[in-house]
Structure 1
Amino acid sequence: MPMSQPDLEAALREGFPDAEIEVHDLAGDGDHYKARIVSAAFQGLPRVRQHQLVYAALKGKMGGELHALALETSAPA
């Protein structure tokens, strides 16, 4: 079963409560999203580690309920 956009946003907000988060459904199928996350949690971390933190916040839903997630992560300027 696909993951709804509100459920994805809620999971990301739970994992990154301080973050500015934008989620876009790329295909209209609940399986392909793009997320832009700006969080202090990413400060000083390489991009790979930032993405690992996002996957951890999704608690195993990536690859199951959520098929594809294009990520744009950064720390606040």
Structure 2
Amino acid sequence: MSNIQDQIQEELKQAREVCSTEGATSGDCAAAWDAVEELQAEASHQQQGEKKKTSLEQYCDDNPDAAECRVYDD
């Protein structure tokens, strides 16, 4: 995950440079900020993909024989 954060920081730096030299209304400036947005969206998507366990799931991992963790087949 830190790799994508490094890429985001690099793209932010480039976007600021492009916008300061080309102007805030230039096409290159808009494209640079689009690249930043896409990387941020990807980072967000990757974070959502990492499923966090609920407290019950953690408890059942530690105590598989507990009554709360029993699974019954029909």
Is this a same-fold pair by TM over 0.5?
no
Q: Give the TM-score of the pair, scaled to structure 2.
A: 0.29
Which structure: greater helix fraction?
2
Larger Cα-atom Rg = 2
Larger RCO, structure (CA 8 Å, separation 6 or more): 1
Q: Give the TM-score of the pair, scaled to structure 1.
A: 0.28
